[in-house]
Structure 1
Amino acid sequence: MGDNMIELTVESGPVPIAVRDHGGDGPPVLLLHGLGGSMAHWDPVVPELTGTHRVVLMDLRGHGGSGVGPWSWPAALADVEAVIAALDLGSPAVVGMSLGGMVATRWAARPGCPGAVNLDGLRGYLTAPENYPGLDPALREKELARLRALFDEQAAAVTGPLAEIIDDLRAAVEEDHLAACRAARSPLLVVAATENLPAQDQFPELTEAYRRGLDRDLATLAEVWHVQVERIGSSHAMVREHPAEVAKLIREFLAV
């Protein structure tokens, strides 16, 4: 953390939102983490961005140092709006990883955003049958049931404030977010991972079919004038695995 870093709390209605302002040179960019994470997940990327941007981070409601409140997309967007207003950021770029990317994509539905970035927050793994092309239906249902049981086990282990909203968050993450990408009214960068997390290796046929379906739909998304699609040779944990490459994608997109 640099000498110019400031930590503060912003009130979004009754929910306190933890914020960290790293300062930096250039236009503001607001970074949003993924489900179960915190702003600390961006630590490897922050030094890569402060040379070109004023970098601000926030903990989503129910995460990190923020308070808990009912989860919904409008509530999450209201939290983003409260942080932007409190820090007088004007019209910042908004960048999110996974769940944060889904929020950033919905922020891009508002005109005037200079750019939004969705890092692999595109489609949950428990999705519609047509999103697993080429997979035998019986195997698909068997593997989805096995994956659902794994997610149930993980959710049951969640503690603290996040446990109060984990069911709503799981439902939100498992939505298909390609439609929200198409509905963006501001420039949007979509970055898809091409490699597996260790847990995904337990479901090889399901994962391959999922990627086929996602590639099929990303091809149509790339035809939308305001959406740029990129792929990165990384797993879903791209912020930790390849921070310099992630930061480069962000910088180049926002410089256009």
Structure 2
Amino acid sequence: MSQLHTQDYERMLDLVAAVLESDDPAASGRLISEHLRTAFDCGTVIFAEVRTAQRSGRALGWAPGSIGAEAEHVIRRRVAQRHPMISYLAAGRQSPAIVSDICDKWRHSQWYSEARRDYGTTQQLGLPLPGEPGILRVVSLGRMGDFGRRELEFAQRIQPLLVSAHRNMREQQRLRDALAAATGAVRQVESHELTPRELTVLGLLAEGLTAEGIGRRLTISPHTVNRHLEKIYRKLGTNNRVSTVSLARRFGLVM
């Protein structure tokens, strides 16, 4: 039988609304973390990503905002210390877990002492976000006092939502990066200031002619052609024939 209360379902809806309303991937992780801190009545939330091969990690979100400057440092320290939740995730476990349930020595550990000293929290609940191989993601919630079975059930209920929210954050970031790259390329091409001779050389390059072939067509030496090409590469921000022709075609400089 479910132990969830009506208020828990209301908090789920609040979390859904927060995810749907946010269109800034950089802020989404922090917004979600703040909602989770309220929903679980806990002291800290860190939305962490750990890359196992590099033994490194980063923070995708955190609450309260005051721990932002420390969040990534904490993650890196926990990776180096081999925190029990990292071992839990690395073993392929995907269910939300209370850390004292997976670590018998939790209350006598360095992790417990540091969390209590630095944040006033004595218990942690880890909410895994399954993803691609080699990358571990977890939302770690810390509070003074224990998490109960109700909080664990609540975490299980919202886990699929958080997985989807993270995918949405990644897709938003991918689209933003693509837009930024395209906008940058447009500005680059619009301000290229290619001379008429350089545009001619670019057109012949797009036809597949070598430097020698372009030189014969224009009655100039291959050395002069290469000087033109160096200037074209510099102005377009490219460094080879293929990328230069591709960019030029994309923005209508050549056919």
TM-score, normalised on structure 2? 0.26
**Pair member with larger Rg:** 2
**Which has the higher relative contact order, 1 or 2, with Cα contacts under 8 A spaced 6 or more apart?**
1
The structure with the largest helix share of the pair is 2
The structure with the largest strand share of the pair is 1
TM-score, normalised on structure 1? 0.25
